[in-house]
Chain A
């Protein structure tokens, strides 16, 4: 019998093999992002698609360029650069100039990701770090196109702008916000805002798809959104708690951030306990920035700050080895006489 036909590979256990690899996971994430992108095209116009395409091509190009120049193996096939590209487009205003997008791509891929060693070694979420850097061009990054405007494929300079829900919430003007957008608009996404963040419904759909396909776990999104919901419900700043809470959860980049950014494998804790701590931390900082900060939206900085704490969380939530019993802490009273004895002996 010809053993070669059996495709046996001599290696140590485990022997069960799946086709899951980075490319597979990233492809699933891309699929999960498609509905929100489609809605964004419907809501803002075709220019959205141009921005996303340019961003994806830019990210892949910079990844290829750096790996080629540094004579490293090319990791462009794992699609992670494409996901970063889509996410960068998603966190920008819909009528962002293309050159800003390309600078953001460069920053995310070369500075944040490749200089630290490429995929798996970046300490910040590349897309969010790029957004923080792109705020250099503050006026372009805070021009919010009104929903329902049909931006042509190559964009236009004269657009109708509108305040985002977050601007209303920042001024504590819930009444004004409710007159402009009702809860159904907020949930389905007929609102102004970043390119990909508007449709809470379709983002949740994408997130649930990823949880269902076991790409992400529910711990970070649920603890993140849950923390924001509880905090805004408990401290409604004089508004009706339920309405205030719903507008806060559905507005801004919370859903996008919680499902697609905070759950990035590289920049989130490993253990489930750590992931809950991470999510709660993100939620706390988000609400603090929204309530007390000068920015109206805090998701980007909340996730970036928590990215920096992942190593502490990981260090302190290391799961115990199977079969190893933790030694119970000795009660305090039992210890103190020993100390006294030692002191006496000295």
Chain B
């Protein structure tokens, strides 16, 4: 398995949010500030990597019929750990993310990677896959939350760039989440089309 290819897939060609369109709910809901985006992204990155490793280790033991239930149990275990860790050491982030940390249990990125990758591959590639997909997710969250925080409240990671009254309220509201995500997906499609055209020539 080569790390570069998997990283490229996680970041660009198979990006979990922009191409696979997974994990939309948390993406739209929590990208209101950079600290939220970073907290959520890193949490998912850790949980995804750990659950991928464990599921890959157990892939021959888990009976096929109840595999989803088994995955959920594994994922829920790691989510609980991360949730408690956040509450212990990063209380601000835990409070502002609220219910979306426990909801990572049903985040479809993690379930999809378990089902389509970790259950079919060895431990090391699964761990790398978890890291790459997690980085892809985190990066999109960071870009989205930076755009929304800047346009919505005029600040970037808490530093005021321009006065808040010039900020577009809509960008901080759910509307802004949909708008930003739509524009990013469009940009991604456009870039991929362009790359494909270049290769074709």
Contact = CB atoms under 8 A, between A and B. Distances in A.
Nearest to B176: A136
A133 B167 CA distance: 12
B170 A136 contact: yes
A308 to B, nearest CB: 14
A136 B183 contact: no
A115 B186 contact: yes
Contacts of B191: none
A138 B169 contact: yes
A111 B183 CA distance: 8
Given A115-B183, A115-B186, A103 B169 contact: no
A136 B169 contact: yes
> Helix, strand, loop or mixed for chain A's interface?
helix
Contacts of A136: 167-171
A99 B170 CA distance: 16
A180 interface: no
Contacts of B168: 103, 133, 136-137
A164 B186 CA distance: 40
B179 interface: yes
Residue among A103, A136, A138 with the most chain B CB within 10 A? A136
Interface in A107-141: 111, 115, 133, 135-138
A: contact size bracket = under 10
Contacts of B167: 136
Nearest to B190: A70
The residue among B168, B171, B179, B183 with the most chain A CB atoms within 10 A of its own CB is B168
Nearest to A139: B165
Nearest to B152: A136
Contacts of A103: 168
Nearest to A97: B166
A55 B180 CA distance: 24
Interface string B167-200: 1111100000001000100100000000000000
A111 B179 contact: yes
B169 to A, nearest CB: 4
A115 B186 CA distance: 8
B186 to A, nearest CB: 6
Contacts of B183: 111, 115
B170 A133 contact: yes
A279 B29 CA distance: 35
B153 to A, nearest CB: 11
A168 B169 CA distance: 27
Contact of B169 (A99, A111, A115, A137): A137
Interface string B39-53: 000000000000000
A138 B170 CA distance: 10
Contacts of A115: 183, 186
Given A135-B169, A135-B170, 13 more contacts: A99-B166, A103-B168, A111-B179, A111-B183, A115-B186, A133-B170, A136-B167, A136-B168, A136-B169, A136-B170, A137-B168, A137-B169, A138-B169
19 contacts: A99-B166, A103-B168, A111-B179, A111-B183, A115-B183, A115-B186, A133-B168, A133-B170, A135-B169, A135-B170, A136-B167, A136-B168, A136-B169, A136-B170, A136-B171, A137-B165, A137-B168, A137-B169, A138-B169
**Which 5 A-B residue pairs are closest in the complex by CB-CB distance?**
A136-B168, A136-B169, A136-B170, A133-B170, A115-B186
